[in-house]
Amino acid sequence: MNTPFVQKLFVGKVKKVGNPNATKSMEKEWESGMFKEGTKEKVWLSTTGLVGDEVADKKNHGGPEKALFTYTVDHYDYWQNKQEIEAMHAGGFGENLAVKFMEESSVCIGDTYQLGEAVIQVSQPRRPCWKPARRFKTMDLALRIQDSGRTGWYFRVLKEGYIQKDLEFTLIERPYPEWTIANCNEVMYVKKDDLELNENLASCHLLAENWKQTLMKRLAGKESTGENRVFGPNKQ
């Protein structure tokens, strides 16, 4: 089995892009921290993320449960060739870690890894939003990401320290092997009506709180449509 490692490390500031005078949503001005640059330098990883890295929407992005967004570099072949989005390359989804030999079917909630000086733990799958759609001018991209299962995932930070590209992941603990990122995505987007399965996932101790809240709202019959997350403000 190949050892997973960080092929590229990305850090970036919030940027404004688009046309402030545009009327169509795909062309309007918006801001995001997803336009990150690769770095070969060591970067300090704190409990809230990499030093020098920024998020624009602090309500829905960033924070301790979303300290590191991670995506598999091999998925980009799918987006370029199967989905015909040729401009999409590593870093395109705004990930901090572009990794090899890790994917949604092999990574589980609560997986704890040594990465350089840091210790990190898988907290949740990423729920795709409208910003990649704006970046690549593809209105339904968030739905395509959900349907493909190629969502990526987040880490929380248990021990701060320096990390850099080419570091290998050393698995320390896997408390929930049944809750792969792929299985979590299936519950969230496909098996919505399987209440027992939803309740089981919601009871996973190391699942991020916002995922638990979404599942509990679903169980209570109060789940939102998610349209704003998927299509963004002022859809046109």
The answer to whether position 32 is within a domain reads: yes
Under the banding of pLDDT at 50, 70 and 90, the label for residue 80 is very high
Does residue 85 register a pLDDT over 70? Answer: yes
pLDDT-derived band of residue 234, with 50, 70 and 90 as boundaries?
low
Mean pLDDT of the chain: 94
Mean pLDDT of 164-179: 98
CATH number, residue 125: 2.40.33.20
Q: Classify residue 12 as exposed, middle or buried by CB count within 10 Å of its CB (0-12, 13-18, 19+).
A: buried
Would you place residue 68 in the very low, low, confident or very high pLDDT band (cuts 50, 70, 90)? very high
> Which is it for strands 97-100 and 68-72: parallel, antiparallel or unpaired?
parallel
- Coil, strand or helix at 52: coil
Q: Is the pLDDT of residue 206 over 90?
A: yes
Rg (CA), the chain: 17
Amino acid at 62: G
Which pLDDT band holds residue 231 (cuts at 50, 70, 90)?
Answer: confident
Neighbouring residues of 30: CB distance < 8 A, sequence distance ≥ 6: 16, 17, 18, 131, 134, 232
Q: How far apart are CA 120 and CA 159, in angstroms?
A: 7
Q: How far apart are CA 193 and CA 206, in angstroms?
A: 23
Q: Quick check: is 115 in a domain?
A: yes
In a domain, 195, yes or no: no
pLDDT, tens only, 42-53: 999 999 999 999
Number of compact structural domains in the chain: 1
Q: In this structure, is residue 213 part of a structural domain?
A: no
Tell me whether residue 193 is in a domain. Answer: no
The confidence band for 27, taking pLDDT boundaries of 50, 70 and 90, is confident
Note whether residue 199 is domain-resident: no
pLDDT at position 235 over 70: no
Whether the pLDDT of residue 236 is over 60: the answer is: no
Whether residue 138 is contained in a domain is answered as: yes
Inform me whether the pLDDT recorded for 233 exceeds 70.
no
Buried b / exposed e along 132-171 (16+ C-beta atoms within 10 A): bbbbbebbebbbbbbebbbbbbbbbbeeebebbbebebee
Write out the residue range of the structural domain in which residue 58 sits: 5-178
* Residue at 94 is within a domain: yes
